A = this chain, B = another copy of it.
Amino acid sequence: MDKIPTSTLKRLPQYIEVLKRLKKAGLHEVSATKISVFSNIHHTLVRKDISFTKVAATKTGYKVIPLQKAIEELLDWVDISSCLLVGVGHLGSALLGYQEFSQRGLSIVAAFDNDPQKIDTKVHGVSVYSALDITALALQEKIRIGIITVPPESAQLIADIMVHSGIKAIWNFTPHKIIVPPDIIVEYVDMFASLAVLSRRLAEQHHIK
Q: Which residues of A does B touch, CB under 8 Å? A: 1, 3-4, 6, 9-14, 17, 21, 39-41, 74-77, 79-80, 90-91, 93-95, 97-98, 100-101, 104, 106, 124, 144-145, 152-153, 168-169, 171, 175-177, 179, 183, 185, 187-208
Contacts and interface: CB of A to CB of B under 8 A. Distances in A.
A188 B194 contact: yes
B175 A13 contact: yes
Q: Is the interface of A mostly helix, strand, loop or mixed?
A: helix
19 contacts: A4-B200, A9-B193, A9-B196, A9-B197, A9-B200, A12-B196, A17-B175, A74-B200, A75-B196, A77-B199, A79-B199, A90-B94, A90-B95, A145-B202, A169-B199, A169-B201, A187-B198, A189-B189, A189-B191
